[in-house]
Every structure is written in C-alpha cells, then in structure tokens.
C-alpha cells in the first residue's frame, strides 16, 4: 500500500486534525481496519483516536481517496462523533452460547 497525505488541517474548535489522503493498493480493496492501522502507523496516533469518514474509489483504479479525523483524546472523539461512524468497520463481538 502506498499512502499519501494530500491535506492535513487542524480544527482547534473540535480538538482534532482533519486528514485527506490517497491510498494506492494492489489486489483487493483494503478493509477499514487496515486503513486505520496504516493511518495510525504513519501519523503515530492510537486507533481509539481515529475515525474514518469517507472512502471513495474509482472504477478501474487501484486507489481510493479518504478522509480521516484524528482527535486529541478518545473522550473528545466520543463526544463529537456519531456512534455509527465509530462502529463502522470494527469487528463484531462474538455472542456467547451460539454455535
């Protein structure tokens, strides 16, 4: 995966960074968890502080454009972000007692 940051802005009002990026890949489109892991590794932040907003890919191209928001703290993320965006792409907890 080739990761390129196209825009990095600071939003002081909401205590976060708003990062736009382009991701080039080979094969299948990476999962949201893989993309979050790549963002965390490059920008040196924790996964609990990152929310992926949108990912857009073009037909026939092995690249996608995305927007990530990186909060200063996990509490700030929980206060600001919508619940479905925080849960999107996360592995579902396994229920006990199901076969």
Residue extents of the structural domains in the chain:
2-87
For residue 98, name the pLDDT band (cuts at 50, 70, 90): low
**Main-chain phi, psi angles of 29, to 5 degrees:** -65, 130
For residue 97, name the pLDDT band (cuts at 50, 70, 90): low
Distances (CA, A) of 91 to 3, 17, 50, 64: 23, 25, 16, 22
For the chain, what is the mean pLDDT?
90
CB 43 within 8 A of CB 57: no
CA distance 75 to 66: 23
pLDDT in tens, 37-69: 999 999 999 999 999 999 999 888 999 999 999
- Domain 2-87 bears CATH identifier 3.50.50.60: no
């Amino acid at each position: 995966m080739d990761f390129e940051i196209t825009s990095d802005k600071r939003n002081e009002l909401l205590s976060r960074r708003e990062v736009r990026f382009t991701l080039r890949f080979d094969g299948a489109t990476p999962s949201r968890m893989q993309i979050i892991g790549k963002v965390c590794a490059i920008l040196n932040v924790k996964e609990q502080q990152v929310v992926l907003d949108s990912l857009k890919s073009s037909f026939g191209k092995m690249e996608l454009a995305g927007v990530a928001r990186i909060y200063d703290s996990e509490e700030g993320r929980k206060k600001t972000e919508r619940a479905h965006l925080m849960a999107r792409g996360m592995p579902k907890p396994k229920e006990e007692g199901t076969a």
